[in-house]
Amino acid sequence: MSNSNLLKVGFVGLGSMGLGMSRNLHKAGLLTAVWNRTAAKSAMVAEETGCVKASTPADLAALCEVIIICVSEDEDVLQMISELTPGLKSGAVVVDCSTVGIATAQTAAAKFANLGVGFVDAPVSGGSEGADNGNLAVMAGGDVAHLDKAMPALEAMSARVVHIGEVGNGQATKAVNQIIGAGVAQAVTDGLAFAEAMNLPMEKVIDVVGSGASASWFLSYRGPSMVQGEFPVGFKVALHHKDLKICQRMAAQLGTSLLSIEATLTDYEALMADGFGDEDYSAMYRLKKRKFTPRD
């Protein structure tokens, strides 16, 4: 990657994910500028890394060849796209790592194509730990030339980048990931609530089950805290709920509904109604525990 040190990368959205991702760009020598809605976070990253704290997204865009966005929902991405536009230089590539709908990716790509700017939808998986450790999995949709330009930045934040095809296919693949994630969360929280009701030693259960065929990231990384009644983010219930609403619409367009989506949406709506929407999605364990009468 001979040109990686020359690439000027800007990062927009310094939340649970963006903080670690931007720090890994800095470690690779690529981070030129940051912008965040809550300016205190961009001030912190700028002070820590020596990069520019941009006053507006357009100011950031004017300094960068590759701009990475990682904000919450569709409308937030669309807003960032509008606010970046006045500063974008022809030949730049915008990479959206947020989890949003396919239509948002397609809208962004069409808008930028008119300006000679590339767009790649590149949602990620691996949680805030993956963001901090630089070992995310990236599911990328877009032109090969645009992806190639952004590749040094994506590689600095991830262990794996897979090009899935045209714009939107990254988000479609992320929907697959979120459906599987919902099913795993259901299975792990059911299993651990069952184990606790059986009065089993939970650390040992997580150790041995996590070493066999039922191993999963969620069991190993979230099991130990959830059985202590702790649910630090991580990945917020409200964000996974947002993702599963996207998945629900996509499934409906394909003529079906899926049990893992429907059951998880119902659980998350109960958690959000009780004020737990900003907890990690392992808070599903709260609901599962209530179902069991512990063994004497």
If one asks whether residue 37 binds ligand NAP (CB under 6 A), the answer comes out as yes
Cα 161 to Cα 4, 127, 137, 155, distances in angstroms: 16, 15, 6, 7
Q: How far is the CB of 164 from ligand NAP (least distance, A)?
A: 16
Q: Which two tokens stand for residue 151?
A: 């590749």
- Give the binding range for ligand NAP (CB under 6 A) out of 32-40, 162-170, 188-196, 260-268: 32-40
CB of 167 to ligand NAP, least distance (A): 17
Count of helices and strands (H, E) across the chain:
13, 9
Phi, psi of 275, rounded to the nearest 5 degrees: 90, 20
In Å, what is the CA distance from 90 to each residue of 55, 64, 140? Answer: 21, 11, 21
Rounded to whole angstroms, the Cα distance separating 188 from 85 reads: 43
Residue 15 tokens, joined? 């939340």
Could you say whether residue 158 binds ligand NAP (CB under 6 A)? no
Can you list the positions of beta strands (E) in 90-212?
93-96, 118-121, 124-125, 136-141, 158-165
| Residue 124 interacts with ligand NAP (CB under 6 A): yes or no | yes
Number of residues counted as binding ligand NAP (CB under 6 A): 26
Nearest residue to ligand NAP, by Cβ distance, number only: 15
Of 4, 44, 58, 76, which lies in the binding site for ligand NAP, with binding defined by CB under 6 A? Answer: 76
CA distance 252 to 242: 16
Q: In whole angstroms, what is the distance from residue 68 CA to residue 277 CA?
A: 26
Shortest Cβ 295–ligand NAP spacing (Å): 34
Q: Which stretch binds ligand NAP (CB under 6 A): 24-32, 35-43, 165-173, 194-202?
A: 35-43
Binding mask of the shown chain, residues 203 to 242, with x at each position contacting ligand NAP by CB under 6 A: -------------------------------xx---x---
181 counts as binding ligand NAP under rule CB under 6 A: no
Tell me which residue of 242, 230, 228, 229 sits closest to 277, measured CA to CA.
Answer: 242
Residue from 7, 9, 11, 17 in contact with ligand NAP (CB under 6 A): 17
Instruction: Work out which of 18, 118, 142, 210 binds ligand NAP, going by CB under 6 A.
Output: 18
101 binds ligand NAP (CB under 6 A): no
Only one residue has tokens 């006053």, namely: 55
Task: Tell me the residue type at 32.
Answer: T
CA distance 17 to 278: 15
Q: Does 128 bind ligand NAP (CB under 6 A)?
A: yes
Nearer to ligand NAP, 195 or 246 (CB): 246
| CB 96 within 8 Å of CB 77 | yes
Confirm or reject binding of residue 98 to ligand NAP (CB under 6 A).
yes
> Is 174 an annotated catalytic residue?
yes
Residues labelled catalytic? 174
Q: Where do contacts with ligand NAP occur on this chain (CB under 6 A)?
A: 13-18, 36-38, 41, 70-72, 76, 79-80, 98-99, 124-125, 127-128, 234-235, 239, 243
